[in-house]
Structure 1
Amino acid sequence: MRTLLRTGVALGLLMSATHAMADIKIGIVAPITGPNAAFGAQIKNGATQAVEDINKAGGINGEKIVLSVGDDASDPKQGVSVANKFASEGVKAVVGAFNSGVSIPTSDALQEAGIVQISPASTAIKFTERGNWNTFRTCGRDDQQGGVAGAYLADKFKGKKIAIVHDKSPYGKGLADETLKALKAKGGSNVIYEGINPGEKDFSALVSKLKQAQVDVVYYGGLHTEAGLIIRQMRDQSLNAPLMGGDGITDREFVQIAGPGAEGTYMTFSPDARKNPKAKAIVDAFKARKIDPEAYTLYSYAAVQILQAAMTATKSSDGKKVADYMHQGKPFDTVIGDISFDKKGDITRPDYVMYVWKKAPDGSINYAGNEIE
């Protein structure tokens, strides 16, 4: 009897191990905590919903996807720690990170481990310019986004006093510099170029400088937390110049921080993926769970869809094989539309537009549906 029990236990352990090996592990690296947790929630929500939907439909090559979530707290060192943790867990692919400053060092650690990475949100040029075979993104780049912002400033604020402010991060400074480059290429100029530190709360000195220069518009390269505080303090000091930002402010938490002064804020972002007819069923699924799939939610969903399609086509979860297939430029059918990648891992359809945050009939301030033609 004891022999039979031992045999049964051994067989059970073998079957469990075999089952575990059959699962495909996908990691999510995002700021689950910290100042950018709102964006971390978008990435986690999008990837989680995609995994649930794919598993319900049979998984990838008959294998189920298992998610592993790593909190980088918008800290590059913590992001690398998460990458190393994923490598030890046998993770095959990663969705994230949010911050470019985290994605860049994290991608190096993931490449060493043979893991492919798709960021739904990291727009810094450097992310895909270093020759890494494992870096991809479902969003655009800062030179594309800055080009749209700079051209708009040159046209709509011609002859006006323009201030350029950034948060010194790879994302914020990179975007501000690309915007300024495009502004100057169109014949425009700026009266202020200033850097602030992420995490700052008191911008009274900056606002005083902006007032003294009598600026007509403030371009800010950075994230929603500081952008919201800058606007609030501008209004407190009776400076009513509008602020223009990039995709780093695309969360409703921005309005909670900025207050009523958020109305009239300009912002570059991709066309609203929630309006894509292909996304209707997915959007409805999110709404049924009381989740608004704003900003990067659907971009994260699309990242998982792409991984599924590449692993299915190659019949493999090997990072290099999956990346080689993705680099071929074949279109992937996703919830945000058809996406194909170039040899660097950038999408081949740059698609930034300008939005303005407006007050809705219910009194809320949002960018949804407010694209500027």
Structure 2
Amino acid sequence: MSRRKLLVALSYVLFACVSVTRTVQSEEIKSVKIGIAAPLTGFSASNGKDEENAARLAFEEANAQGLIIGGAKIAFEIDGQDDAADPKTAVLVAQRFVDENVSGVIGHYNSGCSVAASSVYRRAGIPQISPTSSSPSYTAQGFETTFRTISNDDQMALLAANYSVEQLKAKRIAVIDDSTDYGTNLVTEYVKAIQKRGAQLVSWQYTTANSIDFRALLTTIKGLNPDLIFYVGQDIQAAGLAKQIRQLGIRARFMGEGGFTNEHFLQLAGQGAKGMLSWEYGLPRDRMPRAAELDAKLKARFGVGIVQFAPLAYDAAWAMINAMKASDSTDPKKYIKALRTNAFDGVTGTIAFTQTGDLKNASATLYEEQGGKWVALAVEKTTAK
């Protein structure tokens, strides 16, 4: 072989090696760890698992798309942790995520847990998007790492109070909260609002997040003959409360807030749910864009469709994914800026955040139990302050 032919042959070999190297580099897979925190045991387990399933589904869908971010193919790796609806446990979970160097966190479910864990994420610079933590104190801290895809409790309290006094014509109102950060704050704002509208607060009773027997406090309330009982807490407790209200022959209307509008609640409450009213965050499912599609996907993947807050969790996950795509980075310090400026059409509507991390435009719906089903009575739009 002549020297010229040898050089040509070697150049072809070198070109082929370079091409193979480039191909391997372009197909490099970068693992990006994401934390999902929710109560997977205890009273809130059904809603916690609902949140985890939806967020996990979103990241699995992103993996299936073969996303290229920062020049590398991205593979999201999910670490789902049980915070047991306990703020102390939530802090431990948050520190675990920090130690694992996660790029973002979806959660927590309970406001008390989100507030407790948020300072851990802030110190580490890790974005936290809660689908369900509605306490104003969560974003009022001014942390650049806190976001949510749900409206806050101050807005919900005003809507519930206005309907209670203006539409139900309730003049004597008793309230019960579960002594959590979430329950106490919402009831406090509700009480302020009903009193401002001329209604009388006849009783303010407290329970705990683990209570199952409410007869003592309900007996006190019964003697005061209220027009309306307003309760904030978890769905399992509310089901027991609804049963005991009827068993004691209390005639007051029962209005709740806390994720009650699901089949699980109706099964637990039985006849106790008859005629109950419940305020819920977001639009009715039949008015949510793509909710039916999400329900079908969840059933196919996990065997269970939407329980309650899955659409909010799914949108929270895609908010994080879309911010990474927009910034072309999975580095929290880089994509967090895109979280505040990026907007997209999610399952629950347009997802866009204010500078405090609140949802810019949110909705709330009042439901009534009618014949074993929840029927939407009113839909109100809310705007973050």
Tell me if TM exceeds 0.5. Answer: yes
Aligned to 1:141: 152
Task: Give the stretch that moved more between structures: 251-260 or 108-117.
Answer: 251-260
Distance 1:89 1:230 in 2: 41
Question: Is 1:261 aligned to residue 269 of structure 2?
Answer: no
Of structures 1 and 2, the larger Rg is shown by 2
Q: Could you say if the C-alpha distance between residues 273 and 53 of structure 1 is closer, same or farther in structure 2, counting changes exceeding 3 Å?
A: farther
Aligned to 1:305: 318
Task: Give the stretch that moved more between structures: 173-182 or 127-136.
Answer: 173-182
Question: Is 1:176 aligned to residue 187 of structure 2?
Answer: yes
Residue number among 39, 44, 50 corresponding to 2:52 in the alignment: 44
Distance 1:140 1:46 in 2: 19
Q: Indicate if the aligned counterparts of 2:284 and 2:376 stay in contact, CA closer than 8 A.
A: no
Aligned to 2:36: 28
Q: Indicate if the aligned counterparts of 2:53 and 2:310 stay in contact, CA closer than 8 A.
A: yes
Aligned to 1:213: 224
Residue number among 241, 244, 252 corresponding to 1:241 in the alignment: 252
Question: Which one-letter code corresponds to 1:356 in the other structure?
Answer: E
Ranges in structure 2 where 5+ consecutive residues have no aligned partner: 1-23, 380-385
Q: Indicate if the aligned counterparts of 1:166 and 1:222 stay in contact, CA closer than 8 A.
A: yes
> Per-residue deviation at 1:121?
0.4
Residue number among 336, 340, 357 corresponding to 1:323 in the alignment: 336
Aligned to 1:55: 63
- Size of the alignment, in residue pairs? 349
Ranges in structure 1 where 5+ consecutive residues have no aligned partner: 1-14, 360-364
Aligned to 2:351: 339
Aligned to 1:4: none
Q: Indicate if the aligned counterparts of 1:33 and 1:73 stay in contact, CA closer than 8 A.
A: yes
- Aligned-partner SS, 1:27: strand
Aligned to 2:376: 370
> Per-residue deviation at 1:55?
1.2
Question: Which one-letter code corresponds to 2:359 in the other structure?
Answer: I
- Aligned-partner SS, 2:209: coil
Aligned to 1:283: 295
Query: Share of identical aligned residues, percent?
Result: 33
Distance 1:348 1:302 in 2: 14
Aligned to 2:5: none
Q: Could you say if the C-alpha distance between residues 321 and 250 of structure 1 is closer, same or farther in structure 2, counting changes exceeding 3 Å?
A: farther
Question: Which one-letter code corresponds to 2:330 in the other structure?
Answer: S
Residue number among 333, 351, 354 corresponding to 2:366 in the alignment: 354
Distance 2:363 2:145 in 1: 23
> Per-residue deviation at 1:273?
4.0
Residue number among 195, 198, 203 corresponding to 2:209 in the alignment: 198
Question: Is 1:113 aligned to residue 124 of structure 2?
Answer: yes
Q: Indicate if the aligned counterparts of 1:355 and 1:372 stay in contact, CA closer than 8 A.
A: yes
> Per-residue deviation at 1:93?
0.5
Q: Indicate if the aligned counterparts of 1:274 and 1:283 stay in contact, CA closer than 8 A.
A: no
Higher strand share: 2
Aligned to 1:64: 75
Distance 2:76 2:67 in 1: 6
> Per-residue deviation at 1:159?
5.0
Question: Which one-letter code corresponds to 1:114 in the other structure?
Answer: G
> Per-residue deviation at 1:197?
1.7
Question: Which one-letter code corresponds to 1:355 in the other structure?
Answer: Y
- Aligned-partner SS, 1:50: helix
Task: Give the stretch that moved more between structures: 336-345 or 185-194.
Answer: 185-194
Question: Which one-letter code corresponds to 2:376 in the other structure?
Answer: N
Q: Could you say if the C-alpha distance between residues 134 and 159 of structure 1 is closer, same or farther in structure 2, counting changes exceeding 3 Å?
A: closer
> Per-residue deviation at 1:84?
0.9
> Per-residue deviation at 1:358?
2.4
Q: Indicate if the aligned counterparts of 2:256 and 2:278 stay in contact, CA closer than 8 A.
A: yes
Q: Could you say if the C-alpha distance between residues 130 and 200 of structure 1 is closer, same or farther in structure 2, counting changes exceeding 3 Å?
A: same
Distance 2:362 2:196 in 1: 19
Distance 1:302 1:201 in 2: 33
Question: Which one-letter code corresponds to 2:246 in the other structure?
Answer: R
Q: Indicate if the aligned counterparts of 2:59 and 2:76 stay in contact, CA closer than 8 A.
A: yes
Aligned to 1:362: none
Q: Could you say if the C-alpha distance between residues 53 and 273 of structure 1 is closer, same or farther in structure 2, counting changes exceeding 3 Å?
A: farther
